[in-house]
Amino acid sequence: MAMFGMEQVGMRQAPPSCPNGFLYQIRPGDTLWAIAQRYGTTVGAIQAANPGIDPNSLRVAQLICIPRAAGGGGCPAGSSPYVIRSGDTFYAIAQRSGITVAQLTAANPGVNPNALRIGQTICVPGRAPSGGAACPAGSSPYVIRRGDTFYAISQRFGLTVAALQAANPGVNPNALQIGQLICIPGRRPPATTVRCSTVLNATSSAPGASGRVWLDTNSAGNLEITVSGFGLPAPSTFGGTAYGANIVVDGTQIWVPMVQTVEGRWTGTIVRPPVPNIVARGRVGVYPGPVLTGPLADCR
């Protein structure tokens, strides 16, 4: 099981080589068996991809390589592998698959959408929930993201927790997994469209960084804002403990908390009611720093 270790203080692990898979950062409670189950691989395959790893001494924030399963892409239940082709972007793949960029990002925690490679395999959520049955009439699928709970999802879609549980009789709300599909009762069929995305520019505080913002309108009519940063220095460099994005629109401030997925990569998503003039007059800054900034007027 993953443990906190004093030896980590002040140390930064060099990312392991992972040419045939993706990097994964150990979280509290992780075991190789649980990780293997989550990503459709085996403990033996993970150990082979990480020579010298001690499965009994995993450390929180340790980076390991998750190999792609032969033939199955190593994708978790509720998603399927997709091979990147010339011209592909997360925006284009999301539109083609009828999902949001945020859902695609959540299903691929080790993938930098600004550095896709032809032949690279990613996971695309959108298959039917466990058991193969589609969501019943009057409901539609939803992909679990980092931090989701039945309570938070029910609040977001104006439901009760009881109604959400009744629509998902085979789902354990205490063991939700990123990329897992559930059914949302009363939600319209997937009509989600990606509105636009734009690049964030590095500042002198982090000249090697890059970032992107996605604005999606979900099927409930709410605005889904996703912010990702890549190549970011540790937030402690600027006296902070975590990054977040501050979006300012006509004096209104919208805060998007961000979490680290792999070393140097931070991402965050919020869902809120529509914001007038957000594209025309919105501006984004990623703090502390700021390390990334940019106007939303270039959002396309």
pLDDT below 50 — which residues of the chain?
4-12, 70-73, 127-133, 188-194
Q: According to the model, what pLDDT value does residue 132 have? A: 37
Q: Answer yes or no: same fold for 139-185 and 193-298.
A: no
CATH 2.60.40 fits domain 193-298: yes
Indicate the domain borders of the chain.
12-67, 139-185, 193-298
Q: What is the pLDDT of residue 3?
A: 53
pLDDT score at 201: 92
Residue 110 contacts residue 23 (beta carbons within 8 Å) = yes
pLDDT (tens digit per residue) in 151-166: 888 877 778 888 888 8
Class (C level, CATH) for 12-67: alpha beta
User: Can you give the chain as a three-state secondary structure string?
Assistant: CCECCHHHCCCCCCCCCCCCEEEEECCCCCCHHHHHHHCCCCHHHHHHHCCCCCCCCCECCCEEEEECCCCCCCCCCCEEEEECCCCCCHHHHHHHHCCCHHHHHHCCCCCCCCCCCCCCEEEEECCCCCCCCCCCCCEEEEECCCCCCHHHHHHHCCCCHHHHHHHCCCCCCCCCCCCCEEEEECCCCCCCEEEEEEEEEECCCCCCCEEEEEEEECCCCCEEEEEEEECCCCHHHHCCCCCEEEEEECCEEEEEECEEEECCEEEEEEEECCCCCHHHHCEEEEECCCCEEEEHHHCC
Q: In 10 A of CB 224, how many CB atoms?
A: 23
What is the pTM assigned to this prediction?
0.44
Please report the DSSP string for 174-210 in residue order. TS--TT-EEEEETPPSS--EEEEEEEEEE-TTSTT-E
For the record, the structure tokens of 68 come out as: 């792609």
Fold (CATH) for 139-185: Membrane-bound Lytic Murein Transglycosylase D; Chain A (3.10.350)
Q: DSSP label at 65? A: E
Residues 143 and 99 sit within 8 Å (Cβ to Cβ): yes
The pLDDT value recorded for residue 189 is: 40
pLDDT tens sequence across 222-231: 778 889 898 8
